[in-house]
Amino acid sequence: MNTTALLIGLGPLLGWGFYPTIASKMGGRPVNQILGSTLGTFIFALVLFFVKGMVFPTGSDLIFSIISGIGWASAQIITFQSFRLVGSSRAMPITTAFQLLGASLWGVLFLGNWPGVTAKILGTIALAMIIWGASLTVWTEKKDEANTQLLKKAVTLLAIGEIGYWAYSAAPQATSIDGMTAFLPQSIGMLLVGIVYSIVLKMKDNTEPLALTEPVSYKHIISGFFFAFAALTYLISAQPNMNGLATGFVLSQTSVVLATLTGIWFLGQRKTKKEMRVTMFGLLLIIVAATVTVMI
């Protein structure tokens, strides 16, 4: 692994690591966050499309790419809602764990991953480590019934949101184009969700402001740039002549550490010293387990 490949591989660490913290720091409702984020991603993807002189996909390639973007944005709305319940520093390890579990099980059940008994045993152990690690990141010294109920609600929401993240990852596998070519159509699907969601919320409650007219929505374009930067650098990192798919994936998963820590440091989501030690151990388990899942 050369220095250039390593630096590019750390792009998702910065982009996805800071994205939830920046989105939370800027404030607003989940609808503001998703609208601005998807608009920022669309702008980033559109500029890349013209700079690279890429060909816009058609037919089923276009449809599945848009579905992929719709899946991500739908899941991200749910993730933003969970941030309001328990904070990004507690929600991010959980949603990362769910995504790892979903991707691994999809690969085993439908793509033939982990062939052989040994691989399946190691994979099962890794999945158990992911679940254990995620549970450790939300461990608290002082039990509070109200906080426990909020955590249960957030976990339920994030489990449902995994369906969208699964679609984001699985839909492109039905296409014949590479990730970079699918990037613009994906961003179109994402933006469509943001626009439709804002209109539907306004129709349900006319007393609520329309997110399309709120300035805070457009501040979130910046957070969209962070997401798009992470997605682009991951696509480059995963190429065979850079870090490859397995190493690129593992490097990208380190973003959960930064997302968790920045949520604690910059958003006032406090933890005791003991809780911090337990959280760091849980994050370590998740990253080690993620490494195992792509190496077997």
Q: DSSP readout, 52-74? A: HTPPPP-HHHHHHHHHHHHHHHH
First to last CA, the chain: 20
Is residue 152 pLDDT above 90, yes or no? yes
What is the pTM (predicted TM-score) of this model? 0.90
Confidence of residue 1 (pLDDT cuts 50, 70, 90): low
132's CB contacts (< 8 A; 6+ apart) are 282, 285
Q: Specify the 3-state DSSP secondary structure of 280.
A: helix
Show me where the domains of the chain are located: 6-295
Cα separation of 183 and 231, whole Å? Answer: 9
Query: Looking at residue 235, what is its pLDDT?
Result: 84
Residue 195 burial (C-beta neighbours within 10 Å; 0-12, 13-18, 19+): middle
Between vectors from CA 79 to CA 75 and to CA 83, what angle results, nearest 5°?
Answer: 170
Instruction: For 28-43, write each residue's pLDDT tens digit.
Output: 999 999 999 999 999 9
Backbone angles phi, psi at 126, to 5 degrees: -65, -40
> What's the rounded Cα separation, in Å, for the pair 241 and 237?
9
Q: Give percent of the chain above pLDDT 90.
A: 70
SS3 106: helix
Cα 75 from Cα 232, distance rounded (Å): 19
| Residue 180, amino acid | M
The neighbour count for residue 295, using CB atoms within 10 Å, is 12
Mean pLDDT along residues 257-274: 90
What does DSSP assign to residue 30?
Answer: H
Mean pLDDT of the chain: 92
| pLDDT bracket for residue 68 (50, 70, 90) | very high
Tell me what the mean pLDDT of segment 47-54 comes to: 96
**Percent of the chain beyond pLDDT 70?**
99
Q: What is the pLDDT of residue 277?
A: 95
